[in-house]
Amino acid sequence: MNKYKVSICFEEGVNVYVDAKNADDAEQKAYALAEEYAGSSYPQEYNHNCVHRDYFTQDATKVGG
């Protein structure tokens, strides 16, 4: 049996709730959250919920065996 490295790629939609002055401010805060947490668990204060998660694999590369 051979060993392979395979990339698993995710696309995920998450709703977060932020306090903001206006829609532009809300979007900037959401971008900042996405950059900081990048799909990991968001802090409870943002009342997040996953609305979809898609995934695919690519780049199976033989690494041993």
pTM over 0.75: no
By residue count, the chain amounts to 65
Q: Of 43 and 62, which is predicted with more confidence?
A: 62
Cα 31 to Cα 40: distance, rounded to the nearest angstrom: 14
Mean pLDDT of 12-31: 91
DSSP letter (8 states) at residue 21:
S
Q: Where are the domains of the chain?
A: 3-64
Mean pLDDT of 41-64: 82
Mean pLDDT of 38-55: 76
Locus of tokens 């809300």: 26
How many percent of the chain have pLDDT more than 70? 97
Q: What is the pLDDT of residue 39?
A: 62
Cα 55 to Cα 10: distance, rounded to the nearest angstrom: 4
